[in-house]
A and B are shown apart, each in its own frame.
Chain A
């Protein structure tokens, strides 16, 4: 009890004397924990929601049969229905319909309509049955009736009895809202109608999207799946509900892991602030801690006391971080959606669940990181010899304990080696480790670098001519580089991360912009209300487009999602006119493509995005089966192109090949070149005069680019936010280190005053010192940040997003940031030095405090 009282007294004393330092440390930990927790909460809400929503679409099905293509021939249905071992087969047609009424206010307004056979679905997906009114029980079979989930009704602002207009390609279909669903997943926007009606109304006669199977009791699922897989061949995929979970995880994994790493960086920064704070604090209290040891505090008691000090900061930071994280997650979910603006999970409204296990994890992480940060200085303080420590001037021995040149070299070298290692499970684990190691290595090496640089500066100083304050400042920075480096660490960490992020985002954005110019060569683009529309434009409509006056050239593009691996998100197949001899004219190839004469005549050339190489091993020259056609056709990878639009992979092929193989002559998009004599506006007017123009989105290339860049900025929204947080944390760290350091040097100032330096001169000297130090930090931070950005651009991005980019340095922005940090640091030094130069320094000399 009595020792508890002692602990409390000491904690209170420390807290009273170093509020700012403590608050900054708490804030840093809070941001790190909050960020990690937010990302975890949002993602787990989104993935849970996505899995639950997907699973609710399969009900109690044992096995789902789908094709690589979005739809397949319904002839498979009776075959499976009669198949031995199958108790029930429920055919479904999933229509991705556009909602033209929503096209103005949102991008790609999709309504998923499930066409199902109520009699077959009743036992497998009972939740998806439409609830007819008592008056119209046959609505479930009606060809004009649709049943909407509550979320869909809310989204479309309709109720039973109203009608909705949806689009399939250029066709508009009006459906009567006949009722709700038996039990829709909360927040899921889906519609259900009769399968016969759906095939007819949406021009999908003879097509199914999937067949849900219920196996007969006693049938071994795994064995059956294997048998059926062999029987159906490669054109079909068999999936179970766990595949959907994997798919959901894969969809957001790279994005999620990257954000989590950023959270860890924030935590790392926090831990570093705690570390530097504790080092300064133990230096400042050196004789006090020694006194406690002399009075009879054991090493262990002192160590516990010091760890408790930072531990409490960690607890406070972690707890407030959890609260802030929950708040941020709520706000982000509301404003940015479940994918934080990245667009992976449309049509879902996940709700947050407070997860105790995750909360405990992030709490322990935050507190643990804090304790870890304070372990070294606390250990050093507890094991210092009390007798010499009671004497003044022993501060510098503390810093000797922190000198670890070998550690710095090891960290830097390992970091460089790690940067060259391949990804682990599709994740750039080593890339991130390399970043962290470079950071640690640089921090550890800082005292040397600082000492080296300033002694070089000192040697070039002409003692006779130089300003005495400048000489004093440089001398101190040169000789007491260890102490200076502690303040510098904060600047280095935050500024280098800022630089790295700024370079990475700029390089990415410039690359995307250049890429857009390359992939959007035409003047006008048009597509139906939604992308990858299943129906698209018919041949007649294509004919009408092609015969418009003033159109110099028109390219038709068919875009469909195909599933190559059920546990991975869909790959996009793009069929468009491609010149085999010069594919680079329409495809942004990144390396030389296979010459057309080395494409064997029995294979069909495809050009794949970088992601296909990483995810599916589609190297140039490789012959692959893409069972999009029956009988299966052999394809050859003829080139690799850069794609920032579809991180899960995309394949391009010639439209003529696609049509020949699939018989599908509809198209999803068209690119138009306007003749030199005509204006774009005239062509747009001509397009708008077409009979099927109503649900068409006609976009000028400039607008497409603007929309794409807006999308880009949206998905980096969180990154920008993080950058701001990093700047804030870094500057607060600078402020805290400077004021704390100034306080430890109070005796030094006292002596200077005795020697005859005026208050103002000390003030100026300190400001100068702060500026010099910050300048050094900014330069080192810039070098380190550039190094980290290289890792991010050339290792982390290709490994996690499967795309490469070119390096672009945002000089203006970097200089601005450097000046801002320099200014902030100098200002901090200026403010802190006011206290240092105040009257009681004179007394400080005499009282030895």
Chain B
């Protein structure tokens, strides 16, 4: 739920700024060179940050599943002078979801806590995020390890990199709107090889699959006239990686858009807002929220057209109890000229109500 950023911006903006020592946030500027492994780790000086993994799995029985594991770090406006260990300087939020066509609807769970007491944190230096017993860590050799245990399912994965990092935008500087300040640092790690087990429907099932990691951090907020956002990424069968997003205005128009396609050789091609478009093919109405989502969509990147079809229709995640957001985040198949070319994830936000509450 990358759009969370939009959501939290207003929370933070409207906080009274009468503090003795308000936290000072760093802005996103072009030209900064990302350094690793440090930039895998947290950036507490930025307002918001996430580690976002989506992917397709195949069970030992050969059944397809989709999953999403996300950790957010959010810097609040809490007074820096407050010496309390409970002072809510940083919040850690996590979402996890499992798409199983046999279940027919998204299984998901979410948590939100304040960082502290070693119970929840996002560490600097390398990826190491924890929220009680949920965690996402990156070892020195680049392997990721994550474990999520919820009431309905348990995910326990090792993610192994197979390709180099994919810096989005201009070497990781990613514009999010027509104004220069509306930007983030953004990189992805496509074609992560997944191995591990899930506990689902009271069975331990070994799984393998391919995942996509998105890392993004920023202190800025998006254009206030934005109503929602559509995003998709795909690990293509030929080893290519595709990412595309658009930001929609309240009238449904395209406020901003961007796409990148990297071929197996590492050649990257970026697409400007006018080269990227999202067009609904088929919509689905959620019985939970009555929202209508374009679950099958046509994405154009330059001259290429991708048809996107969902693994199942009901992949809506209702997190109103924690982050107050409702969005559709689901496993999708990418087709080109009617032919399946790869698998990925699509995110559709802002369809329930305009998020500019």
Contacts and interface: CB of A to CB of B under 8 A. Distances in A.
Touch between chains A and B, by CB atoms below 8 Å:
yes
Interface of A: 74, 77-78, 81-82, 91, 115, 117, 119-120, 134-138, 141-144, 194-197, 199-200, 205-206
Most interface-central of A78, A141, A206 (chain B CB within 10 A)? A141
Contacts of B15: 136, 138, 142
Interface string B75-115: 01111001111111000000000000000000000001110
A120 B117 CA distance: 13
Contact of B118 (A78, A117, A195, A199): A78
20 contacts: A81-B119, A117-B86, A117-B113, A117-B114, A119-B113, A120-B113, A137-B324, A138-B12, A138-B76, A141-B78, A142-B16, A143-B87, A144-B18, A194-B88, A195-B84, A196-B86, A196-B87, A196-B88, A197-B84, A200-B87
A137 B86 contact: no
Nearest to B357: A134
A194 B89 CA distance: 12
Given A81-B132, A117-B113, 15 more contacts: A78-B118, A81-B117, A91-B86, A115-B86, A120-B113, A136-B15, A137-B324, A141-B78, A142-B15, A194-B86, A196-B114, A200-B82, A205-B83, A205-B84, A206-B84
B11 interface: yes
Contacts of B82: 143, 196-197, 200
A143 B15 CA distance: 11
B24 interface: no
Nearest to B15: A138
A83 B82 CA distance: 28
B87 A136 contact: no
B201 interface: no
> At the interface, is chain B mostly helix, strand, loop or mixed?
loop
Given A91-B86, A196-B87, A141 B76 contact: yes
Contacts of A135: 14
Contacts of A206: 84-85
A206 B82 CA distance: 12
Contacts of B83: 200, 205
Nearest to B77: A138
B88 A141 contact: yes
Contact of B119 (A78, A144, A195): A78
Contacts of A115: 86
A138 B357 CA distance: 14
Given A137-B11, A138-B15, A74 B85 contact: yes
- Which of A81, A142, A196 has the largest count of B CB atoms less than 10 A from its CB? A196
Contacts of A91: 86
A143 to B, nearest CB: 6
B132 A195 contact: no
Contacts of A74: 85-86, 117
Interface in B105-139: 112-114, 117-119, 132
Contacts of B77: 138
Contact of B117 (A77, A136, A137): A77
Contacts of A144: 16, 18
Contacts of A138: 11-12, 14-15, 76-77
B177 to A, nearest CB: 24
Contacts of B87: 143, 196-197, 200
A134 B353 CA distance: 15
A117 B86 CA distance: 8
Nearest to A75: B117
Contacts of A205: 83-84
Contacts of B324: 137
Nearest to A120: B113
Interface in B13-59: 14-16, 18
A200 B84 contact: yes
Contacts of A136: 14-15
Contacts of A134: 357
A709 B76 CA distance: 53
B4 to A, nearest CB: 14
Most-contacted residue by chain A among B12, B16, B18 (CB, 10 A)? B16
Contacts of A137: 11, 324
Nearest to A88: B132
Closest 7 CB pairs of A and B: A196-B86, A78-B117, A196-B87, A199-B84, A196-B84, A119-B113, A141-B88
A198 to B, nearest CB: 8
B118 A196 contact: no
A414 B32 CA distance: 98
Contacts of B357: 134
